[in-house]
Structure 1
């Protein structure tokens, strides 16, 4: 196994094993392992659970000491522009700690590890499988998820097509009803116009008949008045005659 280069060793030393990034305010537990202060504090937040080291799994005192030397190493790594170790080990395909290929996958920590890491205390009790098997499981899950998404898409597309057809059918029915209503109103208007003409014609004829009967009646009354006027005048003149003349026929 080849020795680690100084840069890789420095990069590994500056990396927190919990967040896999540069140490932020690094602290040391009584077991000797180092973590970000915020990372170890969060790992102990669960009530009723004994404090353990996230790396070696040993029980520890709920206390830690600031590691100023490690903080200086982190600053140097940042100044050199080195990436955090575990972020780089995946992209490079080898374990920074042991310089071995990342052939295994730890299900608990969800990271790729080498065979040596798999036998270490850190991962000994974890579910470890070959990378190919983990990748295949991931692919199977993705395929299952993809099938579900495709089926959901088909259902949505089918629903969309159905809604579009339903909308088109409804619009078509509404247009037919509109045309039917317009035709009925036009027919009704035509019928009313015909009825208006017929009734107006009847009223005009009735008006003429009333006027004719009125004129005939007035003419008859005028004739009667004229006859009565003549008779009244004649009788008036006769009343003025002397008795001898009044009794003559």
Structure 2
């Protein structure tokens, strides 16, 4: 057995055998044993003389004891020391627990950061696959067009060469015959017998006239391939885009009476006097200056562009087929609208509840809307540089229609139209 430490031995000596704790008001009996005053008093309670020592069983005729101030002082010092030790142990335990919690927090942070890194890598890999696929499709279009152009050029070359070859063959044949005749005449001119000349009557027949082949028109042959090929191919690529810009038209049956449409139904402008439409129906907006496109979508991906110019106020986006067109309601997804808006010429916001204010680097003159039906996403782009303006990620279910509102002009401002763009202008150089 290991020897007890001095501190442990002292504490044992200062422990009451009755309560097994450090002395409280230590008193000493005649037998020199110490006890807590309350403990010995309680121990002797109800006992008539003589009384005994709880430790050595020595008898005493009277219940007498003596307060031991020296032991009391030592007990207080031990108790204080014990309290400091307990406080230190408590602090150490609390610090340990705090460090363990801190370690767990850091581990969780590291785990989350690594999960984020994995997510970033996974999303990036998916996006890389998508980007590669998009450019692969464009390159395929270019490769197909290049192959087609070169094959067409080869065919036209063969046709021109065939024309020359068809003219060249009889000419070469005539040259060959002429050379043979020359050799025969040279041989005849060297001979002395006249009989040889009589044997060559065919030499005196007349020759057929020989014409030059038609001139090769270099300009006519080259003009197709000297044209602005990049622009021509771009036009073909434009038609092959998936999704390509959808050629929208306004639905006159949905137009508010204050909206006037152009003859081709690609331009809408608010009109103070009101327009007498042929009929009012459940499709027409009656309370708000709104209009829908004739084309609706419920599957696939669709993109269209709207020219807004310097118009100071407008709303545009998509609206569910089922929206109430006779009531004045807020444009929000809860009410079947996914839109962005402009007010006062520079205050842009998304049609959420409450509205989400948008900070744009520049004011878009044209806005592109990208609808992904299966993914339920509606995205808005500045069509001048294709920067994202806003995106609804919890978009519509079911059939929706492109939505527009030219709004009512303020004061004496001249009304500005909203134009649907079928083919976005693309610079030919630069």
**More relative contact order, 1 or 2 (CA 8 Å, 6+ apart):** 1
TM-score w.r.t. structure 1 length?
A: 0.44
Q: Which of the pair is proportionally richer in strand? A: 2
TM-score w.r.t. structure 2 length?
A: 0.27
Whichever of the two has the greater Rg, that structure is: 1
